[in-house]
């Protein structure tokens, strides 16, 4: 086996370089390290594989996964991914660049982030967006900390019990260590209960309130009166949104939110076992200075050309250190590019169509499943789009076992006695009918 | 690089689109009630597929990546990103898997997590890893959560401080603050290492731990690490290792052996996954065996029958830190890298990265100020030019000017003005994947720039000269923020 | 050379105070604005906020730096200089003309701990 392909050093090179640094051997490079810490034992690792062997290894690993027809959402949605996107993302100038610190040779990255920010503002109706965050749940946690930093003498953040379980867990973890108490707002009839919210707000210790725009049951929530109630207590109103659904549902801005967060995954990002996805955060203008994360702004260069730079960096961790609102020091840039290209290709009309197709499939499945007599409605009459909840009348384990055997991932138990289904535009009529006929046999 | 001045919105024409969706085979769903729908459609571009491909291709051509050229960005480990990693990560067999699927249907995925954990444990000398953090800073925060959770679970509630060296990455103090810890700074000595005498009085029963990186941000090995570790442990604190600087230790030194209890790794640095213009990365956190019960969940475990399952709940766990189990796509790339690298090449990663850094340092230290002599590890810091060309009242060339001038010669700039210990810091990290020819070319250009500075610093101060844009006005950008298209207009 | 205004009181963190009855008018010194370079944003408290001596009441931001502002006196904020919201550069233009906040002092005795112009001059020349 020849020299490893990623190391260009010839024997001559090593000799010449060692000479220049006045050392005799490569070991001497570690002469400052106490002897006892230099590892002498061989590492218990596999030997190097060739590319062909690596391919074979992964073919074997891939074969251990079972391809499933996905009828679950719960924070990760199997939407159509246009072929253009992976093609453009694989361009090495995007893929192998670092954070755009040297703006003169990073105008490509900076420009698409500016476009991304613009599109997130359009979808949410908010004034300003950051350059993206890790994922939806962590973006919600950042919003929680932002609410604490923006209000005075408040100790608690309220979370709707209708948020995705993962969002509640992540925000609660951050809150625990950040020294913030979390209160859960009960759910009534499948929707965040406004009277319960008001009762909690009346305690006077609430810095922020996070509620889902489309909730864990797939229900499109009605937030009439929420913003007024929250603002009356000088707290921040935060909406957790599905950006794909935002093409049709009322925007966080229209509901009066101060901050909109969510996961961009539903904008065509492949499931890939949970990541990489991309979190987004957009806020009203007055909260700009407290917003965490990178931001790209437009300016001109010294020849008067339009140019883009990282801006408002004085808010950020590398300058503020322990005084920063957040420790985030990057964005999910390539995934922000993914979302930007997706939204360019789809436009408002394509997104509307995605919602229409998904909702039609979901409504069909919903009605047929009720006809099987194996379910009853969990929240009768509540409006939904691609995802919905039912109450199973058969044992859930038995139901799931049957589905699993048939290659269907469906009927996710989201809490005791409630399962959810999700239909995206990728599910064919045959697949939906197949699912129904399996369930009929349970 | 050419200048291209369009935003995708400016290519838009009513009625165009770039998508392909199936016809609706279902009865149309009832529309949502008006009270729940948005009043107007979002403003998004209306462009064809060709428009999109050309636009983003043009944008890419204003970007510099590792595939374009040498990227000596200190502390960022901009090594070559192997292409087989991309091929594997893009396999359709992994792309369609839902993160909540039953473990029995994702055994291949779980095996990747498990094997990767075992390999990282062996490389670092730690015992268990979580892959849930999505970036280095996220890993840092997670690691500190584990540290606090350990103390809290033991009923040791008063440990609210974390010690951070003055040379630390800016993220360290920020992560500590987010985690509810108070930051106490320990000073560096003249030789750039932590001052153990300054550390001693800081250690008491209010200290949760210390965050270090070794080699530190000056690229210097903390030679007194053994004493530091025993002092901190004796005081009941834990040692946190910031894995940003793991590259030089690959195959030579293991953080676990040096006494570190918790660390994060940056798969996008040490393990060759691409930076993607700022992310996605992956920041797995490793811990010594006694800290495993405090790791975040979910986590992959191996069952007695050799199959893999997912641990969802454990009372002592710090909690959940991201939506699912981190950036699986990035983990796949890093796993591919390690399989390609193999144990026989591991040590060369460390050695060649250190050799390259010392080679550049020794080749330039007559023209750039080297504040601390001696062998460095994977990176080192110059404190500006020896002769910046300034005389009398005339201001000479600064580190910023050197950085900008490098762009004209087709190199990315080093990290500048960090660490904060020096005023004109230029932090250079070459990595093991750069050839001697590349390093020689860089050295020659740095020498040429030093000559220009001495003779006519204005050449540097006016730089860059041939990039698509030149020194954009950052003050104007911050004073009057234009942050979205509707507030923007093309220049005249 | 930084300008120093006679008749004002100064803190070690480079704020100046002009006393007007029980109101303290607070700004930053010319030395401080020069150190910051081009100021891009002045972060200010809200009217009616209570602040204690030595506590941060805001910050100055430039492109690459941020510097906290520390209150030289305790009291309640009665006015903030709203002009600075849209024109932070005014602090660069004249740091003494462009005050930042006005505070109704709760303890005028705290003023005794501040420096006069001569003492401040000596401090920054050190």
pLDDT tens figures, B313-339: 999 999 999 999 999 999 999 999 999
Give dist(CA B215, CA A312) in Å, integer: 31
A312, A314, A323 member nearest C65 (Cβ): A314
| In CATH, B348-476 is 3.30.2290.10 | no
Tokens of B291: 């800290």
Q: HSE on the CB side for C71, CA within 13 Å?
A: 26
Residue pair B245/B252 in contact (Cβ under 8 Å)? The answer is no
Chains touching chain A, criterion 3+ CB pairs below 8 Å: B, C
Burial pattern B452-462, b for ≥16 Cβ within 10 A else e, equals bbbeebebbbe
Binary contact (A314, C49; C-beta < 8 A): no
Q: Would you kindly state where each structural domain of chain A is located, as residue ranges?
A: 11-60, 69-80+348-440, 84-340
Whether the predicted pLDDT of B490 surpasses 80: no
Give dist(CA B471, CA B477) in Å, integer: 12
- Count of C-beta atoms within a 10 Å radius of residue A16: 13
Residue B490 CB-density burial (10 A; 0-12 exposed, 13-18 middle, 19+ buried): exposed
Query: Residues 6 or more apart from A397 whose CB is under 8 A from it?
Result: none
Q: What are the CA-CA distances from residue B249 to residues A7, B221, B239, B243, B439 (Å)?
A: 17, 10, 17, 10, 21
User: B135-187 pLDDT, tens per residue?
Assistant: 999 999 999 999 999 999 999 999 999 999 988 888 888 999 999 999 999 99
Please tell me the predicted confidence (pLDDT) of residue A317.
66
B212 forms bridges with which residues in the sheet? B241
Just give the CATH number of C9-125: 2.40.50.100
Q: Please identify among residues 16-55 of chain A the ones whose CB lies closer than 8 Å to any CB of chain B.
A: 16-18, 20-23, 26, 28-34, 36-39, 42-49, 51, 54-55
H/E/C letters for each residue in B439-478?
HHHHHHHHHHHHHHHHHCCHHHHCCCCCCCCCCCCHHHHH
With CA atoms as reference, report the closest residue to A158 among A135, A181, A134, A130: A181
CA A373 to chain centre: 36
Please tell me the predicted confidence (pLDDT) of residue A1.
53
With CA atoms as reference, report the closest residue to B292 among B181, B159, B180, B150: B150
Binary contact (C64, A319; C-beta < 8 A): yes
User: In the CATH scheme, what architecture does the domain B84-340 have?
Assistant: 3-Layer(aba) Sandwich (3.40)
Largest Cα separation within chain B, whole Å, is 82
User: B201-224 pLDDT, tens per residue?
Assistant: 999 999 999 999 999 999 999 999
H/E/C letters for each residue in A102-158?
CHHHEHHHHHHHHHHHHHHHHHHCCCEECCCECCHHHHHHHHHHHHHHHCCCCCEEE
Q: How large is the average pLDDT for residues C18-44?
A: 93
Q: How large is the average pLDDT for residues B417-440?
A: 94
C115 forms bridges with which residues in the sheet? C10
Give dist(CA C17, CA C36) in Å, integer: 19
Tokens of B30: 């009832």
DSSP string, A242-305: -TTGGGTBPPHHHHT-SEEEEEGGGTT---GGG-S--EEEEE-GGGGGG--S--EEEEE-TTS-
Please tell me the predicted confidence (pLDDT) of residue A129.
98
Binary contact (A106, B320; C-beta < 8 A): no
Residue pair C2/C63 in contact (Cβ under 8 Å)? The answer is no
A21 touches chain C (CB under 8 A): no
Tokens of A267: 């904008």
Closest approach of C77 to chain A, Cα-based (Å): 15
Residue A291 CB-density burial (10 A; 0-12 exposed, 13-18 middle, 19+ buried): buried
Give dist(CA B79, CA B71) in Å, integer: 8
Give dist(CA A174, CA A183) in Å, integer: 14
Q: What are the CA-CA distances from residue A331 to residues A96, A135, A269, A319, B77 (Å)?
A: 15, 10, 16, 17, 18
Residue pair A331/B137 in contact (Cβ under 8 Å)? The answer is no
Residue pair A190/A379 in contact (Cβ under 8 Å)? The answer is yes
C24 forms bridges with which residues in the sheet? C19, C103
Would you call B264 helix, strand, or coil by DSSP?
strand
A183 forms bridges with which residues in the sheet? A158
Residue with tokens 């340092």: B361
Residue pair B240/B143 in contact (Cβ under 8 Å)? The answer is yes
Beta strands per DSSP E along B323-448: 380-383, 415-416, 425-428
Give dist(CA A357, CA B449) in Å, integer: 60
Please tell me the predicted confidence (pLDDT) of residue B492.
42
DSSP H or E segment with residue A17:
helix A11-20
Binary contact (C41, A289; C-beta < 8 A): yes
Whether the predicted pLDDT of C10 surpasses 90: yes
Residue with tokens 């590349």: B438
Closest approach of B416 to chain C, Cα-based (Å): 12
Residue with tokens 């901190």: B232
Per-residue pLDDT of chain A (442 residues; tens, 9 = 90+): 568 999 999 999 999 999 999 999 999 999 999 999 999 999 999 999 999 999 999 999 999 999 999 999 999 999 999 999 999 999 999 999 999 999 999 999 999 999 999 999 999 999 999 999 999 999 999 999 999 999 888 999 999 999 999 999 999 999 999 999 999 999 999 999 999 999 999 999 999 999 999 999 999 999 999 999 999 999 999 999 999 999 999 999 999 999 999 999 999 999 999 999 999 999 999 999 999 999 999 999 999 999 999 999 887 766 676 677 789 988 999 999 999 999 999 999 999 999 999 999 999 999 999 999 999 999 999 999 999 999 999 999 999 999 999 999 999 999 999 999 999 999 999 999 999 999 999 8
A313, A320, A323 member nearest C63 (Cβ): A313
B381 forms bridges with which residues in the sheet? B427
How many DSSP H helices and E strands does chain C contain? 4, 9
Residue pair B38/B410 in contact (Cβ under 8 Å)? The answer is no
User: In the CATH scheme, what architecture does the domain A69-80+348-440 have?
Assistant: Alpha-Beta Complex (3.90)
Binary contact (B475, C88; C-beta < 8 A): no
Binary contact (C49, A152; C-beta < 8 A): yes
Q: A84-340: what fold?
A: 3.40.640
Give dist(CA B133, CA B320) in Å, integer: 10
Rg (CA), chain C: 13
Four-residue CA torsion sign, A115, A120, A125, A128: negative
Q: Poorest-confidence range of A255-269, B449-463, C62-76?
A: C62-76
pLDDT-derived band at C64 (thresholds 50, 70, 90) equals confident
Please tell me the predicted confidence (pLDDT) of residue B491.
47
Residue pair B445/B70 in contact (Cβ under 8 Å)? The answer is no
Q: Please identify among residues 358-397 of chain A the ones whose CB lies closer than 8 Å to any CB of chain B.
A: 359-364, 383, 385
Q: Would you kindly state where each structural domain of chain B is located, as residue ranges?
A: 8-60, 84-340, 348-476
Give dist(CA B158, CA A252) in Å, integer: 41
Residues of B with Cβ-Cβ distance to A101 under 8 angstroms = 73, 413, 415
Binary contact (C63, A152; C-beta < 8 A): no
CA B298 to chain centre: 24
Give dist(CA C58, CA C70) in Å, integer: 7
* Cis peptide leading into residue A276 (ω within 30°): yes
CB pairs under 8 A between B and C: 15
Closest approach of C23 to chain B, Cα-based (Å): 30
Closest approach of B305 to chain A, Cα-based (Å): 15
Give dist(CA B470, CA A176) in Å, integer: 46
Please tell me the predicted confidence (pLDDT) of residue B198.
95
Residue pair B212/B239 in contact (Cβ under 8 Å)? The answer is yes
User: B11-49 pLDDT, tens per residue?
Assistant: 999 999 999 999 999 999 999 999 999 999 999 999 999
Whether the predicted pLDDT of B385 surpasses 60: yes
B5, B176, B485 member nearest A118 (Cβ): B485
A56 touches chain B (CB under 8 A): no
Interface test with A, best of B94, B277, B351 (most A CBs within 10 A): B277
Whether the predicted pLDDT of C8 surpasses 70: yes
**Starting from the edge strand earliest in sequence, which strands make up the sheet with C66-70, in order?**
C39-43, C56-62, C66-70
Q: Are strands B262-265 and B207-212 parallel, antiparallel or unpaired?
A: unpaired
Q: Poorest-confidence range of A105-114, A162-171, B400-409, C53-62?
A: C53-62
Interface test with C, best of A295, A314, A325 (most C CBs within 10 A): A314
Average pLDDT, chain B: 95
A220 forms bridges with which residues in the sheet? A214
Residue pair C17/C72 in contact (Cβ under 8 Å)? The answer is yes
Residues of B with Cβ-Cβ distance to C62 under 8 angstroms = 475, 478
Residue pair A422/A409 in contact (Cβ under 8 Å)? The answer is no
């Amino acid at each position: 086996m020849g020299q490893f392909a990623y190391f260009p050093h010839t024997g001559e090179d090593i000799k010449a370089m060692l000479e220049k640094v006045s050392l005799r051997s490569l070991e001497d490079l570690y002469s400052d390290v106490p002897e006892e810490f230099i590892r002498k034992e061989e590492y218990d690792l596999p030997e190097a594989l060739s590319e062909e062997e690596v391919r074979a290894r992964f073919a074997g690993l891939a074969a251990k996964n079972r391809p499933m027809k996905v009828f679950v959402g719960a924070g990760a949605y199997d939407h159509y991914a246009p072929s253009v996107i992976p093609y453009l993302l694989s361009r090495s100038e995007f893929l192998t660049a670092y954070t755009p610190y040297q703006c003169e040779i990073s105008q490509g990255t900076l420009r698409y982030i500016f476009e991304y920010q613009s599109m997130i503002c359009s979808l949410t109706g908010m004034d300003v967006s950051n350059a993206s965050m890790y994922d939806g749940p962590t973006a919600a946690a950042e919003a929680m900390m932002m609410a604490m930093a923006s209000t005075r003498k408040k100790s608690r953040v309220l979370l709707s019990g209708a948020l995705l379980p993962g969002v509640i867990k992540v925000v609660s973890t951050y809150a625990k260590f950040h020294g913030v108490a979390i209160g859960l707002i009960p759910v009534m009839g499948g929707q965040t209960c406004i009277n319960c919210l008001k009762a909690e707000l009346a305690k006077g210790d609430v810095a922020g309130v996070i509620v889902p725009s489309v909730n864990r049951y797939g229900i499109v929530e009605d937030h009439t009166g929420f913003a007024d109630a929250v603002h009356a207590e000088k707290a921040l109103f935060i909406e957790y949104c599905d950006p794909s659904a935002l093409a049709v549902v009322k925007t966080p801005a229209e509901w009066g939110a101060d901050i909109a967060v969510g996961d961009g995954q539903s904008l065509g990002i492949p499931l890939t076992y949970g990541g990489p996805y991309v979190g987004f955060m957009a806020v009203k203008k007055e909260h700009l200075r407290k917003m965490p994360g990178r931001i790209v702004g437009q300016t001109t260069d010294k020849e008067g050309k339009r140019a883009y730079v990282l801006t408002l960096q004085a808010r950020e961790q590398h300058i503020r250190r322990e005084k920063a609102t957040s420790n985030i020091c990057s964005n999910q840039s390539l995934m922000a590019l993914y979302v930007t290209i997706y939204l360019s290709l789809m436009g408002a009309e394509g997104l509307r169509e995605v919602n229409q197709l998904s909702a039609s499939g979901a409504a069909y499945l919903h009605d047929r499943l009720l006809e099987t007599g194996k379910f009853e409605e969990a929240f009768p009459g509540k409006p939904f789009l691609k995802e919905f909840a039912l109450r199973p009348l058969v044992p859930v384990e038995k139901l799931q076992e049957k589905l699993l055997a048939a290659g269907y991932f469906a009927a996710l138990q989201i809490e005791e006695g409630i399962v959810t289904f999700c239909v995206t535009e990728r599910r064919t009529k045959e697949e939906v009918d197949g699912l129904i006929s399996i369930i009929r046999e349970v | 690089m050419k200048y291209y001045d369009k935003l995708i919105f400016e290519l838009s024409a009513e009625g165009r689109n770039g998508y392909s969706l199936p016809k609706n085979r279902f009865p149309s769903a009832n529309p949502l009630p008006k009270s729940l729908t948005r009043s107007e459609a979002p403003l998004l571009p209306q462009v064809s597929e060709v428009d999109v491909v050309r636009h983003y291709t043009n944008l890419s051509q204003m970007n510099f990546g590792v595939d374009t050229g040498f990227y000596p960005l200190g502390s960022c480990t901009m090594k070559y990103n192997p292409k087989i990693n991309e091929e594997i990560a893009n396999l359709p067999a992994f792309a369609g898997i839902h993160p909540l699927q039953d473990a029995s249907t994702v055994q291949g995925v779980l095996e990747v997590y498990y094997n990767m954990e075992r390999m990282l444990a062996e490389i670092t000398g730690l015992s268990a890893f979580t892959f849930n953090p999505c970036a280095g800073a996220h890993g840092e925060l997670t690691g500190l959560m584990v540290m606090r959770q350990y103390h809290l679970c033991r009923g040791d509630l008063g440990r609210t401080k974390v010690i951070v060296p003055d040379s630390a990455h800016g993220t360290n103090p920020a992560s500590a603050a987010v985690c509810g810890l108070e930051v106490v700074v320990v000073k560096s000595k003249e030789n750039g290492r932590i001052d153990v005498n300054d550390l001693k009085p800081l250690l008491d029963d209010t200290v949760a731990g210390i965050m270090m990186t070794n080699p530190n941000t000056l690229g210097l090995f903390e030679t007194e690490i053994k004493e530091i570790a025993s002092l901190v442990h004796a005081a009941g604190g834990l040692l946190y290792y910031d894995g940003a600087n793991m590259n030089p230790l690959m195959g030579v030194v293991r953080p676990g052996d040096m006494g570190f209890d918790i660390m994060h790794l940056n798969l996008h640095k040490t393990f060759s996954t691409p930076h993607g213009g700022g992310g996605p990365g992956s920041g797995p956190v490793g811990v010594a065996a006694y800290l495993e019960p405090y790791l975040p969940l979910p986590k992959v475990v191996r069952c007695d029958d050799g199959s893999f399952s997912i641990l969802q709940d454990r009372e002592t766990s710090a909690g959940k830190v991201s939506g699912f189990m981190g950036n699986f796509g990035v983990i796949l790339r890093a796993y591919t890298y390690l399989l390609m690298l193999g144990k026989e090449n591991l040590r060369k990663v460390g050695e060649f990265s250190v050799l390259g850094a010392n080679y550049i340092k020794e080749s330039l230290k007559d023209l750039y100020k080297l504040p601390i002599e001696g062998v460095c590890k994977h990176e080192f810091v110059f404190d500006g030019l020896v002769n910046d060309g300034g005389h009398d009242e005339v201001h000479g060339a600064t580190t910023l000017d050197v950085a900008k001038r490098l762009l004209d010669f087709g190199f990315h700039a080093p990290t500048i003005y960090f660490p904060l210990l020096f005023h004109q810091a230029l932090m250079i990290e070459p990595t093991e994947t750069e050839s001697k020819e590349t390093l020689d070319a860089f050295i020659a250009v740095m020498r040429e720039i030093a000559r220009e500075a001495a003779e006519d610093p204005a050449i540097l101060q006016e730089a860059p000269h041939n990039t698509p844009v030149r020194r954009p006005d950052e003050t104007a950008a911050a004073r009057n923020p234009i942050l979205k298209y509707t507030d923007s207009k093309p220049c005249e | 050379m930084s300008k120093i205004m006679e008749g004002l009181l100064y803190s070690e963190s480079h704020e100046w105070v002009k006393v007007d009855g029980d109101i303290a008018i607070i700004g930053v010194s010319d030395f401080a604005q020069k150190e910051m370079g081009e100021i891009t944003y002045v972060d200010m408290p809200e009217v009616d906020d209570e602040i204690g001596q030595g506590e941060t009441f805001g910050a100055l931001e430039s492109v690459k730096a941020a510097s906290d502002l520390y209150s030289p006196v305790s009291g309640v904020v009665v006015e903030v200089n709203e002009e600075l919201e849209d024109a932070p550069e005014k602090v660069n233009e004249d740091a003494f003309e462009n005050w930042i906040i006005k505070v109704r002092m709760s303890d005028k005795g705290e003023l005794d701990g501040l420096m006069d112009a001569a003492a401040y001059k000596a401090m920054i020349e050190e």
